[in-house]
């Protein structure tokens, strides 16, 4: 039998999620997949960007999982509105469209990821990664995103700092960064702390948002 304190703790650790998609069957499938997870609670569903904004204002969830192309209000328009009022909002796009312009726009807004519906099995690990502060995107769209990244660098940062910023924005963790930069994980942590202090930012998510918005 589950004690009251155990139930309370479980509620406290649940990822409150809203789902928004104009395809009712997709919406239903997503709700079914997520609702059976012990750590995810679907607190609302909608079918366009206007619904997303209203649901966010009502529930202020931990995560928004949303389609991009919806009528009359798109997912991009909804994300802009939500992030303007709630800059820490975690928005993960799930769409059938692999479009560089959409990818760049979504991530430049400060959204946490962009996944394709064809790879629906990747949703759960993507949600966990986003909740751990990472930015995620479908492996099939890695190259378009990299092309966007590689155009950017800051004259105020050293070559190594720019490389670190780039890798953080790609969503790599410290271990992966250490392997790519041929450094120990401890050194990566030190560089990361120094970079955060230099840019007056709080965490790696803000670094990624800085990369997209400021460079």
List the CATH number of the domain containing 133.
Answer: 3.40.50.2300
Q: Where among 97, 116, 139 does a domain terminate?
A: 139
The residue that leads in pLDDT, 137 or 3, is: 137
Q: CB–CB of 172/164 below 8 Å?
A: no
134 and 164 within one domain:
no
User: Is residue 20 within 8 Å of 66, Cβ to Cβ?
Assistant: yes
The β-bridge relationship of strands 63-66 and 91-95 is parallel
Q: Which residue has the tokens 């997209």?
A: 212
User: What does the pLDDT look like over 149-182, one tens digit per residue?
Assistant: 454 567 788 888 888 888 888 788 888 888 888 8
Q: Inform me whether the pLDDT recorded for 86 exceeds 60.
A: yes
Tokens found for residue 146:
């990299």
Based on the fold, state whether residues 104 and 180 are members of the same structural domain: no
Residue 16 lies in a domain: yes
Three-class secondary structure of residue 188 per DSSP: helix
CB 18 within 8 A of CB 55: yes
Indicate whether 164 belongs to any domain: yes
- How far apart CA 209 and CA 108 sit, in angstroms, is 7
Host domain of residue 175: 152-214
Q: Per-residue pLDDT averaged across 116-136, rounded?
A: 84
How many domains does the structure of the chain reveal?
A: 2
Instruction: Answer yes or no: is pLDDT of 2 > 60.
Output: no
Task: Give the model's pLDDT for residue 56.
Answer: 97
215 secondary structure, DSSP code = -
Average pLDDT, integer, range 183-198: 91
């Amino acid at each position: 039998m589950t004690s009251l304190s155990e139930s309370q703790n479980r509620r406290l650790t649940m990822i409150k999620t809203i789902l928004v998609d104009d395809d009712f069957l997709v919406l239903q499938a997503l709700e079914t997949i997520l609702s059976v997870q012990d750590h995810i609670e679907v607190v609302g569903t909608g079918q366009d960007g206007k619904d997303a904004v209203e649901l966010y204002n009502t529930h202020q969830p931990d995560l928004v999982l949303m389609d991009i192309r919806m009528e009359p209000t798109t997912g991009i328009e909804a994300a802009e509105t939500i992030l303007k009022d709630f800059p820490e909002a975690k928005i993960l796009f799930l769409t059938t469209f692999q479009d560089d312009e959409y990818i760049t726009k979504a991530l430049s807004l400060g959204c946490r990821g962009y996944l394709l519906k064809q790879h629906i099995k990747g949703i759960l690990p993507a949600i966990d990664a986003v909740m751990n502060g990472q930015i995620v995107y479908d492996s099939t769209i890695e190259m378009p995103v990299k092309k966007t990244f590689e155009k950017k660098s800051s004259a105020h940062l050293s070559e190594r700092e720019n490389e670190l910023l780039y890798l953080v924005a790609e969503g790599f963790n410290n271990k992966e960064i250490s392997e790519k930069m041929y450094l120990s994980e401890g050194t990566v942590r030190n560089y990361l702390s120094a970079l955060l202090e230099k840019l007056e930012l709080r965490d790696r998510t803000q670094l990624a948002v800085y990369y997209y918005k400021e460079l």
